């Protein structure tokens, strides 16, 4: 296990250039982070990992909180935060460098109870309107994958179902846990069986960080998986339906890839 006293000169300055570790926290994905009211401090798996990484580096933690994945990505890409928690996606490779994933979660489809849609394969049909959270992992993925259906974008992932109901769209797409919570908020909704993607949640740093800086964060993630930290955090925060990602191989670090 790597410790702060193993740090090469100048490496801490790369990882926490302002002295404290500024960590981008995305409240748009309830698997990662949430808070009961706007006045509450964020809590969740990503917050626990952020605190642990700051502790390993021996610096203070400075959370930078956002309501959507797109804003969270932009903060790290522009150097407004030092590290964040994101789904792996090739569309983000020019802006960020990623660790291997630490958690795997499912992207699911939601429809009305009386919808004729019964399976995933029936979604991508001309005339169908699919609502996604702008800039989210499933927005990026479905933009590439859907050939016939039209994608419409809600401002944030937690507002996808509200927008779906308001506009009369055919399908809402998002993280399974968020959609299940929305089924509790609104009557007459159901999820289609299965998933349209497995979302690999990883940590990311700005694209200009060195291999050595990225290696510190990669090793941290692998340690947190190996000693059960991530698994315990999922249980502690009551996250069902997500699982710890397997240990990564030791392939060389490449730009924009885990």
Q: What letter would DSSP give residue 17?
A: T
Is the pLDDT assigned to residue 203 strictly greater than 80?
yes
Alpha carbons 144 and 132: distance in angstroms, whole number: 13
Which of 118, 121, 158, 116 has the alpha carbon at shortest distance from 136? 158
Q: In angstroms, how far apart are the furthest CA atoms of the chain?
A: 62
Q: Does domain 4-103+200-244 have CATH number 3.40.190.10?
A: yes
pLDDT above 50 for 257 = no
The pLDDT tens digits of the residues spanning 133-142 come to: 998 889 999 9
pLDDT at residue 1 greater than cutoff 70? no
pLDDT digits (tens, 9 = 90+) for 18-70: 999 999 999 988 889 998 888 889 999 999 999 999 999 999 999 999 988 88
Per-residue confidence (pLDDT) for residue 39, from 0 to 100: 85
pLDDT value at 258 more than 70: no
User: What's the rounded mean pLDDT across residues 94-112?
Assistant: 95
Say which CATH superfamily domain 104-197 falls into.
Periplasmic binding protein-like II (3.40.190.10)
| pLDDT value of residue 249 | 72
Let me know how long the chain is: 258
Check if 4-103+200-244 and 104-197 are the same fold: yes
Model pTM score: 0.82
Q: What is the average per-residue pLDDT within 242-247?
A: 94
User: In Å, how far are 11, 91, 116 from 94, measured between CA atoms?
Assistant: 22, 7, 40
The strand pairing partners of 202, in sequence order, are 86
Angle made by CA atoms 143, 136, 134, in degrees to the nearest 5: 75
Average pLDDT, the chain: 91
pLDDT per residue over 156-166, tens digit each? 888 999 999 99
Domain range summary for the chain, segments of one domain joined by +: 4-103+200-244, 104-197
Taking only the tens place, the pLDDT of each residue in 65-98 is: 998 888 999 999 999 999 999 999 888 988 999 9
Contact indicator for 175, 106 with CB cutoff of 8 Å: yes
């Amino acid at each position: 296990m790597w410790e702060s006293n193993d740090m090469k000169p100048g490496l801490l300055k790369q990882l926490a250039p302002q002295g404290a570790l500024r960590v981008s926290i995305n409240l748009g994905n309830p698997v990662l982070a949430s808070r009961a009211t706007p006045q509450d401090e964020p809590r969740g798996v990503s917050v626990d990992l952020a605190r642990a990484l700051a502790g390993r580096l021996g610096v203070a933690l400075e959370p930078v909180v956002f309501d959507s994945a797109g804003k969270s990505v932009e903060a790290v890409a522009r150097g407004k935060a030092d590290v964040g928690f994101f789904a792996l996606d090739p569309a983000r490779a020019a802006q960020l460098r990623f660790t291997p994933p630490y958690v795997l979660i499912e992207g699911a489809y939601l429809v009305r109870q009386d919808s004729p849609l019964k399976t995933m394969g029936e979604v991508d049909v001309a005339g169908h309107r699919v609502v996604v959270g702008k800039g989210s992992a499933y927005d990026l993925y479905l933009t590439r994958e859907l050939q016939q259906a039209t994608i419409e974008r809600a401002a944030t992932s937690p507002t996808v179902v509200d927008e779906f109901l308001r506009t009369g769209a055919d399908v809402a797409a998002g993280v399974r846990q968020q959609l299940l919570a929305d089924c509790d908020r609104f009557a007459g909704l159901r999820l289609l069986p299965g998933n349209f993607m497995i979302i690999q949640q990883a940590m990311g740093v700005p694209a200009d960080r060195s291999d050595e800086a990225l290696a510190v964060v990669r090793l941290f993630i692998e340690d947190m998986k190996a000693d059960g930290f991530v698994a315990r955090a999922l249980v502690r925060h009551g996250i069902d339906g997500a699982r710890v990602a397997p240990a990564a191989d030791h392939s060389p670090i490449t730009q924009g890839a885990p």
